[in-house]
Chains A and B, each alone.
Chain A
């Protein structure tokens, strides 16, 4: 009997893990299938190198050239990554080198706060603060590539910092004490030993951040200006995710415009894949940070130490200033309008939104999030279990990890696109919470899976092996030892995933989010959502900020 239950359990885990991986395959397959028909009317070179994008025929014919969009996407992402790398690695170095654990235990959650802020809020603050600064500096309307890069850089900071911190901390623990014993000062040691040793992992975190940067839709769209021109630093530009978000709803199903948008999404995904592979290749070349360490370590330890110290301190100051400013600004603007009424009443007023009420939006957001986490969390944890305990060959495990990494790189707008075309249209589900939740679930799966896998791999192997030796079946061991031991980490990962889903706007635009609805009553009806509500209010021009960031995190 026990054997039977165990077998069912094992199948269940395998099945859910397969769901997670198949969803990636499904999304990719679907996007490619909808994109390919374009190339029967437009040639590949015209599409990739053309600069005229006129999808609707106003008398001069249609034209689909996405060159400017590709360049803009790459330009903004790289610029933002450069900024984020500079400030993020510096902050991570500072925090890793700090002597007291107290600073770290306070600082890391503080930085994680940034990760919980929805992208719409970033776009909103970007519009109000960054764009205004640029306007004062002379840029028309303040919307430009540089502004978008700055906003995007701040969005990337928490990812880079937490990803780098792990490796920097472990290298520090390994080398710092020994170095100090030999007379090397703390900062010199950080500069010449710890930092070079962690280079390889810093590159890896670069890849993760890259996916996030190139796929970011909302924040960039609100600050970049959206004009189909070749991007210049202080000029406007339009990124591929922005084109898709702005034009998806208009495209008639089956038309060239429709296929062109999918093709643009496909190009974006291919770009991401190419960059992923490039960085993986570079990483394998840099095998072992020691070679690099030896090279850098040779040049003047003391000076390097001073430079790194100044850089790290400045970075930390910038990071914390950004966090404090962001939260302070939103809270100070919104605090005056929060009232119990606002949180519990539906929106009303002749001009909607002028009188308070965001209760349906709160309820709707919760509905989306819970559905997404249930539908995404279970396959994610199952996938992590599968990779850690069921897979025997390293190559298979590596392949699964690569698949999950690719999933993390799919831009959220493309998931929204997939859900719209497949679930809303083809399957006939219509705009509803379920359609949107599937898109959100796919978005959340890699997020939770990576954290779950980390938790499982940190469990002492001896524990599990001892249980096998004592006659426990694999599933029994998982159920009674692994899961309870890791439950803290799993819960934390799920909550972070929930926050991520809570703040997502792009997937909701065409799938389940509406401008007005009553309290959500069923999964097959659409609902309001907080980030969407904020986005719509900003676009209506109402500057009254909603206390959005009070709710997640």
Chain B
């Protein structure tokens, strides 16, 4: 039994060494350093080497990792290390657009030297992770992604956290329509809702449709919203609700398209479907009807000139200086292909394409 206690102790020591290794290497370390230290740690677990041998091996790899880390940090600063992979993370509204552009970019060029002859012959790897606008900002802040995708305005604290090298790239504009199902009789009697009415519906003060308009039947109002990690939640809260909380009875959807689909499937539903999702849902026949908000209709003109109040920018941000490879892809996003992709996904491009 004693032998096995020794084995367990050795293992515990190994784990501690691993954690120590990892935290010293975590600051701006290259992936090579990380896999190097973890594999040497794993290898040393198999040997029946004494605890001191393990400790010295661990400290060796720790110093190697830290020197590699400082090396790569200075290398990156000198632009010596070429970055062949780019990581986007965040908004569920923007990720389909970026994913599709990443796919066509990778297919068209395949290796970086084909994009620009001055770049090395390495495979293009662009990764796009969803999660919501909140996830996007967190990932950009703690460095787990190169670019954070947002579908809302960035907050001042977030900008500060991203640092002095902050840059934002606005890809499109999206508006939140206040949509009801096309089969709801309200679509025929009213085409405008003022801010107060919308507030009361979403906060749960009005529970049945006849409270909104006495000509409507006494059916429950089913409110559909985005979940907290979505940018839409905040945009709606700021532009319409203000201090009033949204009702706890509202159904959360994990994406805009799901929200639109939910309203389309529910005769008594109402929700803030995004402009793109709204258009997509109506692509095969009118399923959703958007109300005017305070008399302003949700169309391209009103969104671009700012008169439609519930709108948001769809963009990506970063807090690190942009490398050559990233710039090449960004140029691609803002090209004609990018413009068409944004449009096909149902958003209004916020840029004019470069030649």
Contacts and interface: CB of A to CB of B under 8 A. Distances in A.
Interface in A391-447: 392, 424-432, 434
Nearest to A235: B249
A541 interface: yes
A48 B96 CA distance: 38
Interface string B211-232: 0000000001010100111000
Contact of B35 (A249, A514, A521, A524): A524
Interface string B15-59: 100010011011101010011001000000111100000000000
A59 B144 contact: no
Interface stretch (A12-20, A275-283, A489-497): A12-20
Interface string A105-145: 00000000000000000000000000000010000111100
A147 interface: no
A85 B277 CA distance: 42
A11 B344 contact: no
Nearest to A58: B237
A352 B245 contact: no
Contacts of A322: none
A498 to B, nearest CB: 21
A352 B34 contact: no
Contacts of A55: 228
B123 A18 contact: no
Contacts of A431: 87, 89, 127, 129, 144-145
Contacts, number: 223
Interface in A512-528: 513-518, 521-526
A469 interface: no
A514 B103 CA distance: 13
B152 to A, nearest CB: 12
B201 to A, nearest CB: 15
Contacts of A10: 3
A22 B18 CA distance: 14
B341 interface: yes
B185 interface: no
B85 interface: yes
Interface in A202-258: 225-229, 236, 238, 246-247, 249-253
A471 interface: no
A516 B25 contact: no
Contacts of B145: 431
A350 B100 contact: yes
Interface stretch (A173-181, A292-300, A304-312, A341-349): A341-349
A427 B106 contact: no
A544 to B, nearest CB: 13
B131 interface: yes
Contacts of B138: 249-253
B102 to A, nearest CB: 6
A514 B10 contact: no
Given A425-B142, A428-B22, A515-B95, A60 B245 contact: yes
Nearest to A396: B1
Contacts of B262: 141
B266 interface: yes
A143 B255 CA distance: 16
A518 B345 contact: no
Contacts of B229: 246-247, 249-250
Interface string B102-135: 1110110000000000000001111111111011
A451 to B, nearest CB: 24
A470 interface: no
A430 B127 contact: no
Nearest to A245: B254
A510 interface: yes
B11 interface: yes
A54 B245 contact: yes
A536 interface: yes
B222 to A, nearest CB: 5
Given A352-B100, A431-B87, A517 B131 contact: no
B112 to A, nearest CB: 13
B3 A526 contact: no
A83 interface: no
Nearest to A68: B248
Of the listed residues A10, A425, A539, the one surrounded by the most CB atoms of chain B closer than 10 A to its CB is: A539
Interface in B130-153: 130-132, 134-135, 138-139, 141-145
A404 to B, nearest CB: 16
A19 B45 CA distance: 10
A36 interface: no
A540 B281 CA distance: 11
A434 B99 CA distance: 22
Contact of A539 (B8, B26, B98, B257): B257
A351 B344 contact: yes
Contact of A349 (B10, B34, B100, B258): B100
B71 to A, nearest CB: 16
B257 A141 contact: no
A352 B254 contact: no
A514 B129 contact: yes
Nearest to B161: A252
B12 interface: yes
A26 interface: yes
Given A346-B107, A515-B99, A525-B127, A253 B142 contact: yes
Contacts of A246: 227-229, 252, 254
Contact of B34 (A19, A428, A541): A428
A14 B3 contact: yes
B34 A429 contact: yes
A541 B22 contact: no
B170 interface: no
Nearest to B144: A430
Contacts of B243: 58-60
Contacts of A348: 100, 103-104, 107
A274 interface: no
B46 A514 contact: no
Contact of A249 (B1, B135, B269): B135
A346 B248 contact: no
B249 A226 contact: no
Given A7-B48, A55-B228, A350-B344, A225 B251 contact: yes
Contact of B144 (A11, A247, A425, A518): A425
A390 B1 CA distance: 9
A528 B22 CA distance: 25
A291 interface: no
Contact of A541 (B45, B129, B260): B260
Contacts of B130: 514-515, 536
A426 B34 CA distance: 13
16 contacts: A15-B45, A19-B45, A22-B12, A58-B243, A140-B222, A246-B252, A247-B227, A352-B103, A425-B142, A427-B23, A427-B26, A428-B26, A516-B99, A517-B127, A541-B255, A541-B257
Given A425-B144, A525-B31, 16 more contacts: A7-B48, A8-B48, A15-B8, A15-B10, A18-B11, A58-B237, A140-B266, A249-B132, A346-B103, A427-B23, A428-B26, A431-B129, A521-B123, A522-B31, A524-B35, A525-B85
The 8 lowest CB-CB distance pairs between A and B, nearest first, are A250-B134, A428-B26, A249-B135, A541-B257, A516-B99, A250-B229, A427-B22, A524-B31
Interface of B: 1, 3-4, 7-8, 10-12, 15, 19, 22-23, 25-27, 29, 31, 34-35, 38, 45-48, 85, 87, 89, 92, 95-96, 98-100, 102-104, 106-107, 123-132, 134-135, 138-139, 141-145, 220, 222, 224, 227-229, 234, 237, 241-243, 245, 248-252, 254-255, 257-258, 260-262, 265-266, 268-269, 277, 280, 340-341, 344-345
